[in-house]
């Protein structure tokens, strides 16, 4: 009897977890579904990528090259070499020498009271001047129209902040499934529909894609 009750309880619990994860997935908008509209007298706003990199020599060149191929008219890139001990800094300098849109920052020491990635992001933000800032990771690759769709969505929905979950690709299928599940388990902690409620303190950001309007960042004291 006890075993049957335990089995039933576990089954119900797993069903509820699966339902909540699916509900979370259904409530999230995919950039794939955003239909780009023609812009006649409305130029695209400027965007600066801020990408911290720490010992990413295996991934940073391919990721940076994917950024430089993005189909967007007004782009600038700040790649922050965050205390790397491998060839990351040298790779970034070589790439910057071939593309004027790419700027490199080299951080040698971490000031007291800072976390490494937050400090690197703040350094990149302070060196940028664009209307929008996109915080990304050094191992993220972007599809050609991702930025246009993201900006259009922000304009249509009147957003100052947009985060997106990337598709996960790894050498191991099991690891890919595990990481994807970790993304979706955020559904157990909050309701995505409350993110845009000004009365709610709920906030969620995916480190691989955080798009911010500069005015909103400035009004909140920067990336601290």
Count of other CB atoms within 10 angstroms of residue 166: 19
Sign of CA dihedral 145, 22, 212, 196: positive
Alpha-carbon span 163 to 161, nearest angstrom = 7
- What phi and psi, each to the nearest 5 degrees, are found at residue 168? -100, 125
pLDDT in tens, 169-206: 666 767 666 666 666 666 566 666 677 777 877 777 77
DSSP secondary-structure letter at 154? Answer: H
**Residue with more model confidence, 191 or 53:** 53
For 162, residues 6+ apart whose C-beta sits below 8 A from its C-beta are 150, 153, 154, 209, 210, 211
State how far the Cα of 93 lies from the Cα of 220, in Å rounded to an integer. Answer: 32
Task: Return the pLDDT at 77.
Answer: 93
- Whole-model pTM? 0.77
Mean pLDDT throughout 106-120?
Answer: 90
Mean pLDDT value across the chain: 81
pLDDT digits (tens, 9 = 90+) for 60-111: 898 888 888 888 888 999 999 999 999 999 999 999 999 999 999 999 999 9
| CATH 3.90.550.10 is the classification of domain 7-29+44-219 | yes
- Phi, psi for residue 111 in degrees, rounded to 5: -65, 155
Domain coordinates of the chain in residue numbers? 7-29+44-219
Find tokens 């050094």 and name the residue: 138
Task: Give residue 52's pLDDT band: very low, low, confident or very high (50, 70, 90).
Answer: very high
Please report the pLDDT score of residue 198 as a whole number: 75
């Amino acid at each position: 009897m006890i075993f049957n009750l335990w089995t039933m309880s576990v089954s119900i619990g797993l069903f509820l977890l699966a339902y909540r994860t699916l509900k979370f997935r259904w409530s999230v908008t995919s950039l794939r579904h955003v239909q780009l509209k023609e812009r006649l007298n409305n130029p695209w706003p400027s965007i600066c990528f801020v990408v911290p990199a720490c010992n990413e020599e295996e991934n940073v060149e391919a990721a940076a090259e994917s950024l430089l191929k993005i189909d967007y008219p007004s782009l600038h890139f700040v790649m922050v070499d965050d205390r790397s001990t491998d060839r990351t800094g040298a790779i970034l300098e070589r790439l910057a020498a071939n593309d004027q849109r790419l700027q490199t920052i080299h951080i040698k020491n971490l000031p007291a009271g800072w976390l490494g990635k937050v400090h690197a992001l703040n350094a990149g933000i302070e060196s940028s001047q664009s209307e929008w800032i996109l915080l990304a990771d050094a191992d993220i690759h972007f599809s050609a129209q991702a930025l246009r769709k993201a900006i259009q969505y922000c304009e249509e929905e009147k957003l100052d902040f947009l985060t997106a979950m990337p598709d996960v690709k790894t050498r191991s299928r099991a690891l890919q499934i595990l990481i994807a599940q970790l993304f979706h388990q955020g559904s157990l902690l909050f309701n995505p529909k409350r993110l845009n409620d000004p009365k709610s303190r709920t906030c969620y950001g995916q480190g691989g894609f955080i798009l911010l309007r500069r005015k909103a960042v400035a009004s909140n004291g920067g990336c601290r």
